[in-house]
Structures are given as structure tokens and as C-alpha cells.
Amino acid sequence: MKIFIKSILIIPFLIVTFSCTDSKPNILIILADDAGYSDFGFMGSDEIKTPNLDKLASDGVTFNNAYVSASVCSPSRAGLLTGMYQQRFGHECNLDSDVNNSFDPNQITIAEALKTKGYRTGLIGKWHLGDKKQNHPLNNGFDYFWGFISGARNYFYNPSEESRNSIRNVVENNSPTKFDGYLTDVLGDKAVDFIEKNHQSNSPFFLFLSFNAPHTPMQAKKEVLEKFKDNPRKVYASMMWSMDEAIGSVINELKENGQYNNTIIYFLSDNGATSSKSSSSPFPFKGWKGNQYEGGIKTPMIMTWKNKIKPNTQFNGFISSLDIFKTSLEVSNVDKSSMKNADGKNIMISLNNKTIENEDLFWRKDKMATVRSGNYKLIRLNDTSTVLYNIKKNYYEDLDLKTKESNIHDSLFKKLSNWEMSLIKPNWIENKNWNIVTEMIYQDLMSNKEIRAFSPKDIKK
């Protein structure tokens, strides 16, 4: 497998100036689920084929220092849709089946904000922000929903496996529905349908295309598996190929109906690769989904906007998934009151800056918290145990500088503590057994030791 880390170019002026008289751009967010950082052609992989995403990347900017706000699915999505550190409204940990809390419906979502400017809004795919009535996508700014409420489901429809009123069932708006074929393909088709119908109405749209690929269960189409039969990660490679094909269909629809030039498209993953026992890969980083090492929180990210963003560009400034909210609202001239609580920034302004300012970024999940400030990153476990890394010099995070650079350590520790003063306690925490494993993983990663357990079933009783 040939994978490389691309050389980084700072492009001081990327964007063609645009006026507020331009028609409102369509907004399309495409989210992968648990994808590995380098598991894309545009990120250097020869093993995982993503030709449509590669083409999309060449048409815009690839962010080489992009992060999500959480290392697991549900809080990451809560941050993405609100532009806020989700810990500020208690959505800090992943949802579990026995959790009584879920997404706070009092928060303004990007869909709700864009609707104030006449946008037609749609969600196709995975939700994972709660199954109560007040949490439903239709009650949080979306005009149309086709997908499933839970965090995962099978990729093939089997009537005998569909449970009554299960949050894993596929629904259209509020009604249970069926589908034929492979779910990833169907999600692409539903997105194409949404775009076509919206084009006929001649109004701007916001579409959140939220794939569950390549999240487990590991299921792929037979004909695609045959194509990748010699690939050492053939099921994963097949799932990624199908997602890429679905994205290609959506992009082709935008081009065929003349909407591509006036559509802002973001692509990213909700968190990093799953553990080293799975097929996704965090290469070249340490860590994975569930922890705040680079492999768990860093994401490949693309942004395109024809004639507004210079094509085939690399950008090295810090970018957060939280930035998508404010960027989309400001370019759509949404009233600033909708952005008063936003923690992100307008990416368009950042791209135009000749001097790249790498702001502080923060993470917290129960006992684990992290701050990245410039080249340095501090990770804390249980309020006491800490490590300090210089990410620029040591991106693999195995050289602890806590003692050698104590002043920087103390400064970052204070920044992290001050940030936490703006948060509330988590509304829920994750499964007790998983918390035990997560703490063990942190201890091993921080000590550069062999990982003792990847899941609760690895713990010897």
C-alpha cells in the first residue's frame, strides 16, 4: 500500500471576491462515518479508491489541519450542526440505547438558521441525535428526512430484521419505509431526488448527506467485492467505493441542472478510524475513534465553491467542523443573531488571510480533555495525568515534553481549565464498561505501551 503525507502549501489568497448581491448559494454537507484519515485517493491512498472525491478535491481546497469537535459520532454531529462546542449544552458523550437524554432542541441548527433565508432543508441518512419527538430532524429545522435515527444499521433491507418502532428502521419523514438494493446507493439516489425537486422549485437548498459508510456492520455489494477481491481490505475498500460512487451521482446531478457553480460543498468524516482491529486506518497518526490523539479527531476535509475558491489548493491553517456553521450562514446573509453562540469562524475569511492564525481548539469527553494551541497539544486524563506534544515536530505523539517544556505545559493546562469553565457537566456519560476501556487505552497511549484492551470484551474477567 502506497500512502504518503502530502507537502503543505500555504496559499495566501485563494478566493475570488464575491458580492452580497450574488444569489444565495446552495449548501451541501457530505459526511462519512468512521473513515480513516488517509483512506482516500486525495489523501494519498493507492489502496482505497475514491475517484469522485479526488475530482471534487481538485476542484476546491483540501484542508490538511482539519479537526472534528469530538472523537465519536453523536457529539461530533451535534457540534457540526450547531457550530458550538457541544459540551456547552451537555452533549459530550456518545448516545447509548439506555440514555434518557439526547440532543438539546433549544439549540439553533444550521438547518433552522438557513430556513430563515428561504432555504429548503433536507437530511438524507444517519441522524444519531436522539429518538424523542423533540429530537426528530423535522423538529430541528429539516423539511425532509429520509434515513434512520440510530447510530448504525444494516446496509441491506431484510423484513425479518426490521423491528417494530426500532430506531434502526429507515423512515421517510415520520413514516417507516422500505428500500431495495444497497443502502449507500439509495442514500445517493435520495439526495439526487432532493436536489432535482428543489431545482424545480427554484429556491436555495441545504442538504446534509449523512452516510453511515464505512461504519459497521461491514457489508458491501457482491459485484464491488469482486472488483476488490485482491485488496487486503476488500470489504472496507468496497464500502468506500460505493460511497464515492453515490457522491459522484450527486455531483453529476448538480452539474447537469446547472447548480454546481452556486453550491458550496463540504466533505469530511465525523471522527477518525475505528480501532486498529478494524479495516479503517488512522495512518499516519496515533490513536483512533474514541480518543483525542490525532487519529481520533483529525479528518480529511474538502470544500468547493466554483469560481469562489481557487481549485487544486492545499491549506494548512487550523479548520474545525464547527466552522461550517458560521461559514454557511454568513455567506447566505443569515441574521447574526443566529450565530451569537457559534464557536467556529468563517472559513472564507480565513482562506483570504495572508497570515494564517491557528486558534486554540479544545476537546472533552468525560474524564479525557485536550487542547491544541499552535504547534503544541496537551492531553489530560482524570484531571491529573497529562502529556504534552509538539505536533509539528512529533505528529505521532510519542515524545512527552511535559517536563522539558513545563512553561508551555502549564500555559496549555490553564487554557484548557479556563475553557472548561464555559461548559456544563455532561448530560450523560457513556457505558461504564466502555469508560473503563477508554481510560485504559488513554493510559497505554500516554505511556507508549501496548494496548491492553480495545473493547470491553477484551477485558479478562
pLDDT tens sequence across 147-193? 999 999 999 999 888 887 789 999 999 999 999 999 999 999 999 99
Same domain? 111 vs 74 = yes
Q: 234 lies in a domain?
A: yes
Tens digit of pLDDT for each residue in 98-111? 456 789 999 999 99
Instruction: For residue 454, give the CATH number of its domain.
Output: 3.30.1120.10
Same domain? 296 vs 434 = no
Same domain? 348 vs 369 = no
Structure confidence at residue 333 (pLDDT): 95
- Using a 10 angstrom Cβ sphere, with 0-12 exposed, 13-18 middle and 19 or more buried, the burial of residue 4 is exposed
Q: 229 lies in a domain?
A: yes
Whether the pLDDT of residue 13 is over 70: the answer is: no
Same domain? 346 vs 318 = yes
Least trusted range by pLDDT, from 13-22, 234-243, 258-267, 426-435 = 13-22
Instruction: For residue 118, give the CATH number of its domain.
Output: 3.40.720.10
- Strand, coil or helix: what is 388? strand
- Using a 10 angstrom Cβ sphere, with 0-12 exposed, 13-18 middle and 19 or more buried, the burial of residue 54 is middle
Whether the pLDDT of residue 17 is over 80: the answer is: no
Q: 405 lies in a domain?
A: yes
Domain count, the chain: 2
For residue 287, report the phi and psi dihedrals to the nearest 5 degrees.
Answer: 90, 175
Give the separation between CA 19 and CA 17, rounded to whole angstroms.
7
Same domain? 366 vs 334 = no
Same domain? 139 vs 45 = yes
Confidence of residue 12 (pLDDT cuts 50, 70, 90): very low
Q: State the residue range of the domain holding 447.
A: 361-458
Q: What is the sign of the dihedral through the CA atoms of 375, 381, 382 and 388?
A: negative
How would you label 404-417 residue by residue, b for 16+ Cβ within 10 Å and e otherwise? eeeebbeebbeebe
Q: 1 lies in a domain?
A: no
Whether the pLDDT of residue 97 is over 70: the answer is: no
% the chain with pLDDT above 70: 92
Q: Please identify every residue annotated as catalytic.
A: 73, 128
What are 24's three cell numbers? Answer: 444565495
Whether omega for the bond prior to residue 217 falls within 30 degrees of 0, making it cis, is yes
What are 58's three cell numbers? Answer: 481538485
Whether the pLDDT of residue 358 is over 90: the answer is: no
Q: Specify the DSSP element, H or E, that contains 400.
A: none
At position 303, the amino acid (one-letter code) is M
Same domain? 333 vs 372 = no
- Using a 10 angstrom Cβ sphere, with 0-12 exposed, 13-18 middle and 19 or more buried, the burial of residue 243 is buried
Number of H helices, E strands in the chain: 11, 16
Confidence of residue 431 (pLDDT cuts 50, 70, 90): confident
Q: 261 lies in a domain?
A: yes
Tens digit of pLDDT for each residue in 320-354? 999 999 999 999 999 999 999 999 999 999 888 75
Q: 81 lies in a domain?
A: yes
Same domain? 287 vs 188 = yes
% the chain with pLDDT above 90: 83
Whether the pLDDT of residue 425 is over 60: the answer is: yes
Structure confidence at residue 1 (pLDDT): 44
Structure confidence at residue 2 (pLDDT): 42
Residue 419 has a CB neighbour count (10 Å cut-off) of 19
Structure confidence at residue 19 (pLDDT): 37
Cα angle: 350, vertex 351, 355; to 5 degrees: 70
Of 352, 375, 410, the last residue of a domain is: 352
Same domain? 318 vs 176 = yes
Q: 186 lies in a domain?
A: yes
Q: What DSSP state is assigned to residue 293?
A: S
- Taking all residues of the chain, what is their mean pLDDT, rounded to a whole number? 91
Whether the pLDDT of residue 10 is over 70: the answer is: no
Same domain? 324 vs 368 = no
Whether the pLDDT of residue 80 is over 70: the answer is: yes
Mean pLDDT of 59-70: 97
Of 333, 352, 371, the last residue of a domain is: 352
At position 208, the amino acid (one-letter code) is F
Of 295, 320, 352, the last residue of a domain is: 352
Cα angle: 408, vertex 414, 419; to 5 degrees: 130
Give the separation between CA 271 and CA 327, rounded to whole angstroms.
20
Structure confidence at residue 163 (pLDDT): 81
Q: 14 lies in a domain?
A: no
Same domain? 334 vs 207 = yes
